[in-house]
Amino acid sequence: MAKKNIVSEIDDRAMATPSKGLAFSELPRTVSEIATTQIMRSALEKMPRGDGHGVLVIPGFLSDDSFNGPLRKHLDRMGYQSTGWSLGVNLGPTVSPIETAATVAKQFAEQTSGKISIVGHSLGGIYAREVAKLCPDLVRQVITLGSPFSRGQEPKNFAGKIFRWLNPDVESLDESDEYSVAPPLPTSAVYTRTDGIVGWGLAVQKDGHGQCENIEVRGSHCGLTHNASVWYVLADRLAQSTDQWQPFNRDGWRSLLYPTPFAG
């Protein structure tokens, strides 16, 4: 079967709104991921130390900086300077424009005296990518976690309905190619096929450039910023030098935790 047909077949299934079973299991799976990560924290802290550069973590839809507090504390312990976006609950682009997030990124880059990395969860990942497009000279890489930036069907579950209610004038993702274009710098899209909020096909990069990659993990949507395998990926990606980027290595034992990713 030709690659084009395989991609089309994957898209038909992957763009669909997740099943109710996956959606209803989000809470217990997230709790399990939080517990597992706490148990493995000492092992995760044995990853290569950071070089001190700044890492901006942008929360997902209906979330705020407090939800990602454990991740930011972990990044600080690993030798980075992390911060949240300090804009309260992420209610969507109508309430918190991408330009405002870009201002936060610029101020943080000045504070840390160097290029920053941006990690964005869910809707926060869309912000992260767009911020990187607005000020690429200030950003060294972008890492998205379950972010529905690819063109496709907008989720019609509870979260999707709340988003549309809060942001009635925002153009749907399936009406524009703007968000699906990758930033002009290293970009890692972390996703899970058992995402209970958005179809996983919306969270992978298609037709990217040579420094784009998709990384599949096992877990829930809401628990991605608390997932031990995600923390490992973040440590691995953030530790790379700016001029020697290589895709994530899933050889050996890593292949047991990280399935073969979607090849965009």
Residue 2 is encoded by which pair of tokens?
Answer: 């030709």
pLDDT for 169 = 62
Write the pLDDT tens digit of every residue in 111-148: 999 999 999 999 999 999 999 999 999 999 999 999 99
Write the pLDDT tens digit of every residue in 24-60: 999 999 999 999 999 999 999 899 899 999 999 999 9
* DSSP per-residue string spanning 88-130: -SB--TTTS-HHHHHHHHHHHHHHHTS-EEEEEETHHHHHHHH
Indicate if the pLDDT at residue 21 is higher than 90: yes
Classify strands 187-191 and 81-83 as parallel, antiparallel or unpaired: unpaired
**What is the set of domains in the chain, with CATH numbers?**
19-257 (3.40.50.1820)
Instruction: Considering only residues 157 and 63, tell me which one the structure prediction assigns the higher pLDDT.
Output: 63
Instruction: Considering only residues 93 and 7, tell me which one the structure prediction assigns the higher pLDDT.
Output: 93
pLDDT for 150 = 84
Residue 237 CA to chain centroid, in angstroms? 13
**What's the whole-model pTM score?**
0.89
| Helical packing angle, 228-238 and 69-77, nearest 10° | 40
Indicate if the pLDDT at residue 7 is higher than 50: no
Cα 237 to Cα 143: distance, rounded to the nearest angstrom: 8
Question: What SS3 class is residue 138?
Answer: helix
Q: What are phi and psi of 54, to 5 degrees?
A: -80, 145
| Helical packing angle, 228-238 and 26-39, nearest 10° | 60
Indicate if the pLDDT at residue 92 is higher than 80: no
Cα 190 to Cα 144: distance, rounded to the nearest angstrom: 6
Write the pLDDT tens digit of every residue in 222-258: 999 999 999 999 999 999 988 889 999 999 999 999 9
Instruction: Considering only residues 179 and 96, tell me which one the structure prediction assigns the higher pLDDT.
Output: 179
* Cβ proximity of 199 and 17 under 8 Å: yes
Indicate if the pLDDT at residue 97 is higher than 90: no
Write the pLDDT tens digit of every residue in 148-207: 998 655 555 555 555 554 555 665 544 557 889 999 999 999 999 999 998 899 999 998
Sorting pLDDT into bands at 50, 70 and 90, what band is 9? Answer: very low
